């Protein structure tokens, strides 16, 4: 049975060109800065993001952690949306490892935050308060259904941040999906952030890796923080080689994932018992619910998996299906047929 795995774009396997590049990669010790393949990837990443420098880390979680540990000292505060990946899914690392205080502001459904609430959250000089240092953004926004956060919102957040002498950090795990949806280069999105991390191992299909991009001084300091958390890698060109292929060959094809997500959403809208607003789908993430609130999402998920379609619930009421490299148009049609059958059986 062919498995249609829509749990995440993190399940993507490396392309044949990546395996070849890994095999042939020229290597050195990256803690000495001597791995030519890592150096090349970092230069490419910095250029793509319009920043001075970049640093390879093992994961998106490490990208956000190292960035925020670099911006902040213990007891400092960061502001982020209450649906942010860093707040919900990174094991509280910034607090556990950095003593950083997280101040959340409700996310709006479009992945942004109410600007007045952001400004209100910034602390003034008072011995009772932690010191606010950073405002965090996420684009595309995972929990907000892969929403591409508009540039105008990012500009407004940056204006507030800089007026208060704060930095902006962008969790751009899926920044290239955002770039396609907004019709701009990724650097136009990263321009509103002082630091940005983006992932190679989601839709871009590399097996491992994320990059932190920022000023030369910031990246030099982040290199030290990365070492501190045990992320200094040696012959990391093995990883970087696939990352170079990801940036060269896998960015433009993300548009196919967006088209497949649209088709999935439109198909789901025609299935009785499914609740979805197909117009909300902007990138490769499709969120949908069940009309019958007594039916357990876990039960539906298990039944779908038994029929070869893997989709996980993301919230108490919503499934999340993610399209990616390796998912073809026929797989979407298969998934729709299976979902229709399972939902009819369980109703
Ligand atoms: N997200 C994963 C899960 O952790 C939920 C997924 O399947 O989507 N930022 C964003 C916006 C992310 O979506 C993720 C991964 C990360 C950071 C963390 O990246 P990794 O998994 O490489 O640590």
261-287, pLDDT tens digit by residue? 999 999 999 999 999 999 999 999 999
Residue ID of nearest Cα to ligand 1 atom 18 = 60
Residues within a 6 A CB radius of ligand 1: 8, 10, 59-61, 85, 89, 138, 142, 171, 173, 199, 201, 210
Q: How does DSSP assign 46-115, residue by residue?
A: HHHHT-SEEEEES-HHHHHHHHHHHH--TTEEEEEETT-HHHHSSTTHHHHHH-PEEEEEPBPTTS-B-H
The per-residue pLDDT for 220 is 98
Q: Are 301 and 344 in contact (CB under 8 A)?
A: no
The per-residue pLDDT for 214 is 99
**Residue with tokens 């940036």, as numbered in its chain:** 247
The per-residue pLDDT for 295 is 86
CA distances from 215 to 7, 50, 136, 232 (A): 35, 10, 17, 19
Q: Using only the alpha carbons of the chain, give its radius of gyration.
A: 20
**Rounded (10°) CA dihedral 206, 210, 214, 217:** -120
- 0.95 cut: is pTM over it? yes
Side-by-side strand order, sheet with 101-105? 53-57, 210-214, 195-199, 167-171, 131-138, 76-81, 101-105
At 151, is the pLDDT very low, low, confident or very high (cuts 50, 70, 90)?
A: very high
**Residue with tokens 């009309």, as numbered in its chain:** 291
At 293, is the pLDDT very low, low, confident or very high (cuts 50, 70, 90)?
A: confident
Q: Which token pair is 235? A: 């012959």
166-170, 263-267, 293-297: range with lowest mean pLDDT: 293-297
Strand bridging mode 312-313 / 319-322 = antiparallel
Q: Are 163 and 196 in contact (CB under 8 A)?
A: no
**Residue with tokens 């059986």, as numbered in its chain:** 345
The per-residue pLDDT for 183 is 98
The per-residue pLDDT for 334 is 98
pLDDT digits (tens, 9 = 90+) for 71-100: 999 999 999 999 999 999 999 999 999 999
* Cα 86 to ligand 1 centroid, rounded to whole Å: 9
Q: How close are the terminal C-alpha atoms of the chain, in Å?
A: 25
The per-residue pLDDT for 196 is 99
User: Residue 168: which region, alpha, beta or left (left: phi > 0; alpha: psi -120 to 50)?
Assistant: beta
Q: Pick from 161, 91, 105: which is nearest to 132 by CA?
A: 161
Euclidean distance between CA atoms 174 and 196, whole angstroms = 11
- Average pLDDT (288-312) is 95
- Average pLDDT (306-316) is 96
Euclidean distance between CA atoms 330 and 24, whole angstroms = 34
* Most informative mutation of 9, 58, 60 for ligand 1 (most atoms within 8 A of CB): 60
pLDDT digits (tens, 9 = 90+) for 201-216: 999 999 999 999 999 9
What percentage of the chain exceeds 90 in pLDDT?
Answer: 98
* Cα 85 to ligand 1 centroid, rounded to whole Å: 7
Q: Are 335 and 6 in contact (CB under 8 A)?
A: yes
pLDDT digits (tens, 9 = 90+) for 109-119: 999 999 999 99
pLDDT digits (tens, 9 = 90+) for 28-75: 999 999 999 999 999 999 999 999 999 999 999 999 999 999 999 999
* Cα 89 to ligand 1 centroid, rounded to whole Å: 8
Euclidean distance between CA atoms 320 and 240, whole angstroms = 30
At 346, is the pLDDT very low, low, confident or very high (cuts 50, 70, 90)?
A: confident
The DSSP secondary-structure symbol of 31 reads G
Residue ID of nearest Cα to ligand 1 atom 13 = 142
Domain borders along the chain are 14-249, 253-346
Residues 6+ apart with CB under 8 A from 160: 115, 118, 119, 122, 135, 166
* Cα 208 to ligand 1 centroid, rounded to whole Å: 12
What does the longest C-alpha to C-alpha distance in the chain come to? 63
**CATH class of this structure's domain 253-346:** alpha beta
Q: Which fold, 14-249?
A: 3.40.640
The per-residue pLDDT for 129 is 98
* Most informative mutation of 6, 7, 10 for ligand 1 (most atoms within 8 A of CB): 10
List beta partners, residue 132.
77
pLDDT at 347 over 80: no
pLDDT at 302 over 80: yes
- Average pLDDT (239-247) is 98
């Amino acid at each position: 049975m062919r498995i249609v795995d829509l749990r995440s774009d993190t399940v993507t396997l490396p392309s044949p060109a990546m395996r070849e590049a890994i095999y042939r990669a020229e290597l050195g010790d990256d803690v000495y800065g001597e791995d030519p393949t890592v150096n090349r990837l970092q230069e490419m990443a910095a250029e793509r993001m319009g920043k001075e420098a970049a640093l390879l880390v093992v994961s998106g979680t490490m990208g956000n952690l190292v960035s925020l540990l670099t911006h902040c000292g213990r007891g400092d505060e960061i502001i982020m949306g209450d649906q942010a990946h860093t707040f919900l899914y990174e094991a509280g690392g910034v607090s556990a490892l950095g003593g950083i205080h997280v101040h959340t502001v409700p996310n709006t459904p479009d992945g942004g935050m109410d600007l007045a609430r952001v400004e209100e959250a910034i602390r003034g000089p008072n011995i009772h308060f932690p010191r606010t240092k950073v405002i965090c953004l996420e684009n595309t926004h995972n929990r907000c259904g892969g929403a591409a956060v508009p540039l105008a919102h990012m500009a407004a957040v940056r204006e507030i941040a800089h007026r208060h002498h704060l930095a902006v950090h962008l969790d751009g795990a899926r920044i290239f999906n955002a770039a396609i949806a907004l019709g701009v280069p990724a650097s136009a999105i990263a321009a509103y952030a002082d630091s940005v991390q983006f992932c190679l191992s989601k839709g871009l299909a590399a097996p491992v890796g994320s990059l932190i991009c920022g000023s030369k001084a910031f990246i030099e300091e982040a290199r030290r923080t990365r070492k501190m958390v045990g992320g200094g890698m040696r012959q990391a060109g093995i990883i970087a080689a696939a990352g170079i292929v990801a940036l060269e060959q896998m960015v433009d094809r993300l548009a196919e994932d967006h088209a497949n997500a649209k088709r999935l959403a439109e198909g789901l809208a025609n299935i009785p018992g499914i609740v979805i607003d197909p117009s909300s789908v902007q990138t490769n993430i499709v969120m949908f619910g069940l009309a019958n609130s007594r039916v357990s999402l876990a039960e539906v998920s298990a039944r779908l998996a038994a029929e070869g379609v893997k989709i996980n619930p993301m919230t108490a009421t919503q499934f999340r299906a993610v399209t990616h490299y390796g998912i073809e148009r026929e797989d979407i049609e298969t998934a729709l047929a299976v979902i229709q059958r399972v939902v009819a059986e369980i109703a």
